[in-house]
Structure formats: C-alpha cells, structure tokens
Amino acid sequence: MITPKLLVAGELNVDLILNKIQAFPQVGKELLAEEMDLCLGSSSAIMAANSAAMGVDTTFCGVVGDDYFGDFILNELEKKSVSRRHVTRVAGQKTGCTLVMNYAQDRANITYQGAMNTLTINHIPFETPSDYQHLHISSLFLQKGLLKDIEQILKNARAAGMTTSLDLQWDPTEQWAFDYARCLPYVDVFMPNEAELLALTRTDSIGHGIEKLRPYMNTLALKMGRKGSLGICGDEEVSVPAFEVPHFVDAIGAGDSFNAGFIQKYMSGAPLEDCLREGNLMGALNTTAAGGTGAFCDFNTISEKIKDFWGIELCLS
C-alpha cells in the first residue's frame, strides 16, 4: 500500500519529565519527584514520530546540536521510522531541552531552545513538484528562524504542490506576533487549542475568536481537551466529543497526537468529522502512557490498544 508522504518542519529537543511530584515547586524549597523519564520531545517531533507509528511515510526537517542530546534525538527518530534526511547537526550548538513537571493533570514546562533557533526557510526542501504531499509546522514562536519567514514558507509549500497545517503552540513572550490575516490563507488546516485561539485573536470568547479568523482561514481544527474538538470549513461546522480515557498517565503531547491523527485522515481525503474523530482518538491514546510517544510503538500495537480501550477497529484509509 502506498502511503501519503508527510514533511514535518520544526523544533527538536529532549523532554526531561518529572512525574508524581508532591506539589508545584517554590523558590527556595526542594521537592521530590517519584518518577523521571528522558524521551524524545518537541511538538513537531512527537507529531512526526506518532504519524510514522500510524503508518504514514514521514520525514523530519530540523536542527540539533553536536552533543549527546542530539545523538539521542537522531537515534529516537530512526527507531520510530522517521526519515532524518533533512535533519542538520550544527557544531557549537546545544540541542534543546524541555523540563516537564507534571502535577496531577496539569504541568509546567521550561524550555531551553538551543539549536532549534537556527532552523530557517533555507533548510526546508521546496522542490517542484515536491516529494511530499503535506507540510506540518509546530511551535512557531519557539523558532525565530522560521517565524520571520513563515508567510513565504507557506507560499513556497503551496507552490510546490503541498497542503499545509500549522499548530502555533503557546508564545512564551505572549506577544503573539503572527499576522494571521496574511498567513492563514496559505494554511490548509489551522490547529490551535482554546487558550491559543483566545490569545492570538485577543478576544474573550471562542466564538469571537473564530469570527476574527473566519475571513482568512481555510479549515480550523480547534482542540478543546476533555470537550473534544471543533472543526470549521466554510459553512461546515462539526463538534466531536472526546474519548473517555481508561488509564490516564499524563497529557504531554496529546495535542500533537491529535494533530497526527487528524492530518493522517486529512491526507487520505477523509471528511472533516472523520479527521476530528481520529484526532480525538489519538489524543486520548497519547494520555495512556508517559510522554508524547510512549503510547505509539507501531501500527499493530496502536490498533490493539485502541480496540482494547474503545472497541474500535483502526484503519489507515
């Protein structure tokens, strides 16, 4: 079976995850965590790894430093069947790292950007016609090298024959310097969560935020956590409820796994409702294991887990 080809461009970092923390840290005090994991991190890499595990032909475009964490990331991408042909190692740079502190179902993150800032438009392959069907970009505000040229990147992808998706993620500076009126017309699927939508549009309700974006967006896939997801495409508006999770571990990467599920269906030409449901399903599966990729080993394992948890037969088409 020929699978669609996905190109993911974005940040690469490791996640150092602390679980079962007694309470959130306070300055001048020390707390204990009962569990620690070091794993492949970053929104972009989690989306790519989980897409590959679902059977999608996936290639990553990114930058790592010439250090141990860079070695770790490259090995993890290879183990997860993500092509590294467009991953660059930069001497003298440190690979990014995110410290994730989980407390119940909430968390706090601290990210060291490192080499991810050196990824630019020049690293992304835009041959015409493209070898890839779809370009996905995540965590734009963590990547200054991409942010300054994002409109041109999206235009180049369209000129190369690719469809595109964008998940801005949170802006640590809270400036939200993204010109959605200029850029969203070139984004086929815009994938924020509720908090990001409100912050980007500077509105106080989801409805008002959507109306500000509506003149410019093609398809909106809004992630709403336990409330599921909302999709809007032209006059079509679809809400899909979340799946109940039988064994919650943590929510790291759940939104990225939603992206992987949605885009896999989108690339196959599925209706909006099916794309949203697949996104919700993969987001729910994500929360049943530690970290963003723990629940995604390979297609057969994913299928078995989904059948056990929700009685659903998984298929790629």
Instruction: Determine which of 106-115, 183-192, 222-231 has the lowest per-residue pLDDT on average.
Output: 106-115
- Enter the CATH code of domain 5-11+42-94+114-310: 3.40.1190.20
Mean residue pLDDT across the chain? 93
- pLDDT for residue 23: 82
pLDDT tens-digit readout, 154-196: 999 999 999 999 999 999 999 999 999 999 999 999 999 999 9
Q: Where are the domains of the chain?
A: 5-11+42-94+114-310
Q: Which residues have CB under 8 Å from 315's CB, separation 6+?
A: none
Question: Who has greater pLDDT, 315 or 264?
Answer: 264
Residue 2 has pLDDT above 60, yes or no: no
Residue 22 reports pLDDT greater than 90? no
pLDDT score for 4: 60
Question: Quick one: pLDDT at residue 292?
Answer: 86
- Residue-level pLDDT at 261: 97
pLDDT in tens, 282-317: 999 999 998 889 999 899 999 999 999 999 988 766
pTM: 0.92
Q: For residue 4, which of 158, 136, 144 has the smallest C-alpha distance?
A: 136
- Segment 236-250 shows an average pLDDT of 93
Residue 1 is predicted with a pLDDT of 37
Q: How confident is the model at residue 252 (pLDDT cuts 50, 70, 90)?
A: confident
Percent of the chain surpassing pLDDT 70: 97
pLDDT, mean of residues 217-244: 97
